[in-house]
């Protein structure tokens, strides 16, 4: 004996029913087979809508009834030969007339009781099962049997509880009767009757349950649940693109996953088959050759310590707390009695070890009723102020990690909560069963997609980790970065298992946000068609999209952009800043951003603030983290100034050399930031701060070499002033050359003091042999007291700066 159940999508229309017939005939060649079917896809909801309209006095219920009848008649006509249609068409018409009579009574009374609602929805399964039985009769002998004659329940209309002893007797009596000569039986799922003969239902999803009851009662060889997916998945594929099929799973694991939102199988289905150890397959009607999922006692290992991740939405958290609970027995009993009396189901329970508070998770639909019931139960204690009135938090969800093997492996919960924490998912309550098979966390509903994706990445995916980038600034450096991201995409995915996805771009004029990712082969055109740029709206979209592993990349020199870092860090979005303004702002702001990054467990990285692509800050941090102490820093930190003084020898105007540096992309948009020493001051201040010093810009001395008039007016006026002061610059060069020295703009930090200025460097100095646009940083430390640790290389240019930003992104990953 075998039992096959087909859900609503499997029997939604004539084409699908033909697939069902083919599967059953193939499966039933040797064994007796019971086929349990749901209503045609969507019909149960339509019937409920019809009843609601009738109860509300809306004559539109008649139109709904007509659509129901038409759909079933058309299914018959498409499925059964014309010469064989008469009897079943007559049966459909008769059944639909009975349905109309019931709905008319509801309309006249203006009342829809649970019992009447069960009566109305039962017509869906009655119609579909009889149509399908007639279709089978075109191929083989088939018997239709009304499950209401077999399954006996209590009087809980809408979610009746089964009397297994009486049901087993009836099932055995019918299917083992000598009068029952058929090898193929078709029966409706979901519907049953109580001991008084009144029609009841087993609740939504009850067709699975019906099939399991038959399988257990008859000790069937197997139960097959046929649906529209190829088995149970490691996560909801609508939320997780890389969700994987679970080939084998235990009864207990399947029960946990189905309870916490895995809709492939109805939770009560597992219990009857688990009791009898009946193998249960979840298969795909539309891909019957797929393996599906086999639910059994001891499943094969799947290479992971957990079997799946599930979630349940529309959760509210009800909390009762107060000093009056401590050490006093009976509070929990009274709480659950109050909920039980209102027929409110508790999904999750957690209690503090101090007994000061207890929280329960329940369906949001029941939250208000639950609060009233519990407040009423503890009214006396609340008036005495030994208990607080019950608090209710809504817009929550439960995420559950499930696996039989979790109990024998430490660290699963640590990994779970660490992963959630790193992505800014706050946990409101936690529960773990004594079997250690399930770890459940209550989180904000808005975080469900992110939470499930990051958990799935950490526990299941050996393919790649997805990083979502939001980039502000697509100019010279930004454009180079986007080109590098596109170029390295395959390498990163293959070797680092990282997929970098650009989900947002913003300039001063346009912005574009696409959660699915922006095509980097066509980003300029896509951005040009984006909406008008608004920085706060861009930040709000980043926060509202709430994508996992998000990184904001600032490749601007804009002060306003630097002011949004705190918002992003507090939303658990990492920040990579090429923009120096934030880190060179007041020390209090710099420290606040560093503290926020630590508090929210994200990255705040700004390597390119100092040496473009050079690992200057990284090296400094490595020294300090390993226990070394910075004694002195001496550096040439401006690729622009180094380029200028390496190329200026008096043979051509100083202004011309500066213009060349700007044209080749080595300067800031306003070259005066470089030549005035302001940019170098910012850089040495950042290094001093990273060394542990509290320092501000006004604490840094600057020996300015530019005439004051050069700082007036705009950039064109600046160049005119440079030309006027050519003699000044020529003298600077000649004085150095006379001493056989080179001019270098040097930054220095020592004993808590910082300074910048033009210096004469002789050929014995480490700074002498520094060419082109290169930068150099000398670290004198306890470990490097006389011979410094040197970081040297290109310190300017769009390509190397972009590569430095790229490296910070990978560090953040």
- Report d(CA 90, CA 83) in Å as an integer: 13
Residue 85 φ/ψ, nearest 5 degrees: -85, -25
Annotation says 683 is catalytic: yes
Residue for token pair 């066509």 = 522
The helix/strand/coil state of 113 is coil
Beta bridge partners of 391: 319
Both tokens assigned to 633 = 């820093």
The secondary structure of residue 790, as a DSSP letter, is E
Contact 215, 272 (CB under 8 A): yes
CA atoms within 13 A on the CB side of 117: 22
Which residue in this structure is represented by tokens 């658990």? 572
Distances (CA, A) of 369 to 62, 107, 317: 34, 28, 13
Strands (E), 473-542: 498-506, 510-513, 531-532
| Strand arrangement, sheet containing 184-188 | 143-144, 184-188, 33-37, 2-6, 222-227, 280-284, 293-296, 248-250
Residue 322 CA to residue 380 CA, distance in Å, equals 13
**Pairing of the two strands 248-250 and 293-296:** parallel
CA-CA distance, 614 to 604, in Å (whole number)? 17
Contact call for residues 283 and 426 (beta carbons, < 8 A): no
Got the DSSP string for 281-309? EEEETTSTTS--EEEESSPPP-SSS--EE
CA angle, 565 as apex, 559 and 566 as ends, to 5°? 125
Cα-trace Rg, the chain: 36
Residue 35: CA atoms inside 13 Å, Cβ hemisphere, count? Answer: 34
Q: DSSP secondary structure string, 551-619?
A: EEEE-S--HHHHTTHHHHHHTT-EEEE---TTTTS-HHHHHHHHHHHHHTT--EE-THHHHTTS-HHHH
Among 119, 480, 501, 683, the one annotated catalytic: 683
Contacts of 536 (CB under 8 A, 6+ apart): 564
Contact 429, 350 (CB under 8 A): yes
**CA–CA distance, 525 with 470 (Å, rounded to integer):** 17
Q: If DSSP codes are grouped into helix, strand and coil, which group holds residue 437?
A: coil
Distance from the Cα of residue 463 to its chain's centroid: 17
Cα→Cα distances 565→2, 436, 477, 479, 683, Å? 62, 40, 20, 22, 19
Q: Which residues of 40-62 are buried (b: 16+ CB within 10 A; e: fewer)?
A: bbebbebbbebbbbbbeeeeebe
Q: Are 248 and 302 in contact (CB under 8 A)?
A: yes
Q: Residue 202: which residues within 8 A CB-CB, separation 6 or more?
A: 151, 153, 159, 160, 162, 190, 191, 192, 209, 210, 268
Measured between alpha carbons, how far apart are the two ends of the chain, in Å? Answer: 54
Which backbone phi and psi does 579 adopt, to 5 degrees?
-65, 125
Residues carrying an active site annotation: 683
């Amino acid at each position: 004996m075998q039992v096959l159940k087909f859900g609503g999508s499997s029997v939604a229309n004539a084409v699908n029913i033909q697939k069902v017939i083919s599967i059953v005939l193939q499966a039933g060649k040797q064994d007796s087979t019971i086929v349990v079917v749901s209503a045609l896809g969507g019909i149960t909801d339509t019937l409920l809508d019809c009843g609601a309209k009738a109860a509300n006095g809306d004559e539109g219920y008649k139109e709904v009834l007509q659509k129901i009848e038409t759909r079933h008649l058309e299914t018959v006509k498409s499925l059964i030969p014309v010469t064989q249609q008469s009897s079943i068409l007559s049966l459909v018409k008769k059944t639909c007339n009975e349905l109309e009579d019931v709905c008319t009574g509801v309309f006249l009374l203006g009342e829809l009781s649970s019992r009447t609602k069960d009566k109305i929805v039962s017509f869906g399964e009655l119609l579909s099962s009889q149509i399908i039985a007639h279709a089978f009769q075109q191929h083989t002998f088939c018997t239709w049997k009304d499950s209401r004659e077999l399954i006996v329940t209590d009087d809980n209309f809408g979610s009746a509880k089964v009397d297994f002893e009486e049901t087993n007797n009836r099932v055995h009596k019918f299917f083992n009767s000598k009068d029952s000569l058929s090898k193929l039986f078709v029966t409706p799922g979901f519907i049953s009757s109580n001991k008084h003969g009144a029609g009841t239902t087993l609740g939504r999803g009850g067709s699975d349950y019906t099939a399991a009851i038959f399988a257990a009662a008859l000790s069937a060889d197997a139960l097959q649940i046929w649906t529209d997916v190829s088995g149970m998945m490691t996560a909801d594929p609508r939320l997780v693109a890389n969700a994987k099929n679970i080939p084998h799973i235990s009864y207990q694991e399947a029960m946990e996953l189905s309870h916490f939102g895995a809709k492939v199988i109805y939770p009560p289905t597992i219990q009857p088959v688990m009791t009898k150890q009946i193998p249960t397959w979840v298969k795909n009607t539309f891909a019957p050759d797929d393996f599906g999922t086999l639910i059994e006692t001891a499943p094969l290992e799947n290479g992971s310590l957990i079997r799946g991740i599930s979630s349940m939405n529309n959760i509210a958290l009800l909390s009762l707390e107060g000093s009056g609970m401590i050490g006093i027995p009976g509070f929990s009993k009274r709480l659950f009695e109050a909920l039980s009396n209102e027929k409110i189901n508790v999904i999750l329970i957690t209690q503090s070890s101090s007994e000061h508070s207890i929280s329960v998770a329940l369906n949001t639909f029941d939250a208000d009723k639950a609060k009233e019931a519990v407040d009423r139960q503890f009214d006396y204690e609340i008036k005495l102020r030994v208990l607080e009135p019950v608090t209710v938090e809504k817009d929550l969800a439960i995420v559950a990690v499930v696996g039989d093997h979790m109990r024998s492996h430490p660290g699963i919960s640590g990994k779970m909560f660490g992963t959630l924490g790193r992505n800014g998912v706050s946990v409101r309550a936690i529960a773990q069963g004594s079997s250690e098979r399930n770890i459940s966390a209550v989180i904000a509903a808005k975080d469900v997609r992110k939470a499930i994706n990051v958990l799935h990445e950490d526990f299941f995916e050996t393919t790649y980790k997805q990083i979502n980038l939001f980039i502000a600034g697509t100019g010279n450096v930004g454009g180079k970065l986007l080109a590098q991201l596109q170029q390295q995409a395959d390498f990163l995915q293959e070797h680092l298992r990282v997929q970098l996805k650009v989900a947002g771009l913003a300039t001063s004029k346009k912005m574009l946000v696409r959660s699915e990712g922006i095509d980097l082969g066509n980003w300029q055109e896509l951005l040009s068609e984006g909406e008008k740029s608004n920085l706060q709206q861009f930040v709000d979209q980043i926060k509202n999209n709430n994508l996992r592993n998000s990184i904001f990349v600032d490749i601007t020199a804009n002060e306003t952009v630097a002011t949004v870092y705190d918002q992003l860090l507090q939303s658990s979005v990492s920040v990579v800043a090429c923009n120096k303004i934030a880190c060179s702002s007041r020390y209090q702001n710099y420290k606040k951003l560093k503290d926020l990054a630590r508090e929210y467990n994200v990255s705040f990285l700004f390597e390119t603030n100092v040496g473009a692509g050079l690992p200057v800050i990284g090296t400094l941090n490595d020294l300090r983290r390993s226990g070394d102490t910075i004694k002195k820093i001496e550096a040439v930190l401006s690729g622009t100034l180094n380029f200028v003084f390496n190329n200026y020898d008096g043979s051509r105007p100083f202004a011309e050399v500066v213009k060349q540096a700007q044209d080749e992309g080595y300067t800031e948009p306003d070259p005066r930031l470089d030549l005035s020493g302001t940019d170098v001051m910012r850089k040495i201040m950042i290094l001093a701060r990273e060394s542990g010093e509290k320092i501000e810009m006004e604490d840094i001395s600057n020996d300015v070499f530019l005439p004051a008039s050069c700082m007036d007016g705009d950039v064109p006026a600046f160049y005119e002033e440079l030309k006027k002061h050519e003699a000044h610059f020529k003298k600077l060069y000649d004085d150095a050359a006379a001493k056989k020295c080179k001019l270098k703009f040097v930054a220095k930090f020592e004993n808590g003091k910082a300074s910048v200025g033009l210096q004469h460097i002789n050929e014995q100095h480490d700074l002498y042999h520094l060419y082109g646009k290169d930068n150099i940083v000398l670290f004198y430390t306890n470990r490097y007291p006389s011979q410094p640790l040197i970081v040297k290389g290109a310190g300017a240019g769009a390509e190397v700066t972009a590569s430095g930003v790229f490296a910070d992104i990978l560090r953040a990953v």
